[in-house]
Amino acid sequence: MQFKQTMIDEFTLLAKFPLTSKMQGIKLHSDADESLRSAAQRLFDKGIIDSPDGGYLTDLGLDLIEHVTVLHSALSG
């Protein structure tokens, strides 16, 4: 198994979503890094976020952010 750069960009974007509230989202502006804007579009296309420029996590996104958090915690220690 190998993580592609596009997947890492998606992990990075997911990690930017607030974990404390399901009612908080993010907004990517037009001057955001292209890799993050592309990641947002892919996550939107996959049904993980509700807007191609960020927005809120869907139910699938909420499940995935928990896994991203666990993975990040395990690998950074």
At 16-51, the pLDDT tens digits run 998 877 788 999 999 999 999 999 999 999 999 999
Identify the pLDDT of residue 14. 93
The structure tokens listed for 13 are 């974007």
% the chain with pLDDT above 70 = 100
Identify the pLDDT of residue 22. 77
Residue 44 and residue 51 in contact, taking contact as beta carbons nearer than 8 Å: yes
Residue 72 and residue 15 in contact, taking contact as beta carbons nearer than 8 Å: yes
Which is more confident, 72 or 44?
44
Chain mean pLDDT for the chain:
92
Which is more confident, 71 or 50?
50
